[in-house]
Chains A and B, each alone.
Chain A
Amino acid sequence: RKEVEQDPGPFNVPEGATVAFNCTYSNSASQSFFWYRQDCRKEPKLLMSVYSSGNEDGRFTAQLNRASQYISLLIRDSKLSDSATYLCGTGATNKLIFGTGTLLAVQP
């Protein structure tokens, strides 16, 4: 079993839609959780950290469920500019382990 698993997609959604991604992790010792955004042929960039209480940044909401060992990302009112690959990452001690990423394509 992979340490971090994501549905690779693609998720094809119309503009204005709400879309949710999940990411499961197997290491119960994971201490930190992140969502990164990666545009085509670019480097990953931090979208948001994920906290136990959940957190929101504009149209983006991230949640953590430690009991079931998954994190989620909700994007409301999708924009064309949201089209990208979304990578989840979990951290323990000295390193992050990333999932394979979920490709989102927002259609006009």
Chain B
Amino acid sequence: NAGVTQTPKFRILKIGQSMTLQCAQDMNHNYMYWYRQDPGMGLKLIYYSVGAGITDKGEVPNGYNVSRSTTEDFPLRLELAAPSQTSVYFCASSNLGGSYEQYFGPGTRLTVT
């Protein structure tokens, strides 16, 4: 099993550009999450999904959108990128939700200049 995979690993965007961060998991997990981690900071929840077709906002959703059309994939869309969105983005999945272990992908390092 590949677990949780994320693409791309690195990306540099200009202000105002858009992009989609891809996340996929092959563990048949219902719950998936997107976090951002700024230098020296913890993980902040952006969006999460409890199953295909169901998404909900986390702590810091502004400037982002998500969709969940399949169990496997949970892409994160950045519209009109801003320097404040420079961060490391981690996708995670869980079998049964908040009471259980989350498995993280390797992360995407995004710089907006």
Which chain A residues have a beta carbon within 8 Å of chain B's beta carbons? 4, 6, 8, 31-32, 34, 42-46, 49, 87, 89, 91-101
- What's the count of A-B pairs with C-beta under 8 Å? 57
Question: Given known contacts A43-B107, A94-B50, is B40 in contact with A8 (CB within 8 Å)?
Answer: yes
Known: A31-B98, A32-B100. 11 other contacts (CB 8 A): A8-B40, A43-B90, A43-B107, A44-B90, A45-B104, A87-B43, A91-B98, A93-B98, A95-B97, A96-B102, A101-B42
Inter-chain contact A87/B101, CB cutoff 8 Å: no
Inter-chain contact B33/A95, CB cutoff 8 Å: yes
Residues of chain A within 8 A (CB-CB) of B45 are 95, 97
A44 to B45, CA, bound (A): 14
Highest count of chain B CB atoms <10 Å: which of A34, A97, A99: A97
A98 to B33, CA, bound (A): 13
Say whether chain A's binding surface is mostly helix, strand, loop, or mixed. strand
Q: How far is the CB of A3 from chain B (nearest CB, A)?
A: 9
Inter-chain contact A99/B42, CB cutoff 8 Å: yes
Highest count of chain A CB atoms <10 Å: which of B58, B90, B104: B104
**Residues of B67-113 contacting chain A, CB below 8 A:** 90, 97-102, 104-107
Residues of chain A within 8 A (CB-CB) of B90 are 43-44
Inter-chain contact A95/B43, CB cutoff 8 Å: no
Q: How far is the CB of B69 from chain A (nearest CB, A)?
A: 19
A92 to B98, CA, bound (A): 5
Residue of A with least CB distance to B107: A43
Inter-chain contact B99/A32, CB cutoff 8 Å: yes
Q: A43: which of B97, B100, B106 is its contact (CB, 8 Å)?
A: B106
Residues of chain A within 8 A (CB-CB) of B104 are 43-45
A34 to B104, CA, bound (A): 14
Inter-chain contact A94/B106, CB cutoff 8 Å: no
Inter-chain contact B98/A94, CB cutoff 8 Å: yes
Residues of chain B within 8 A (CB-CB) of A96 are 33, 98, 102
Residue of A with least CB distance to B42: A100
Q: How far is the CB of B111 from chain A (nearest CB, A)?
A: 14
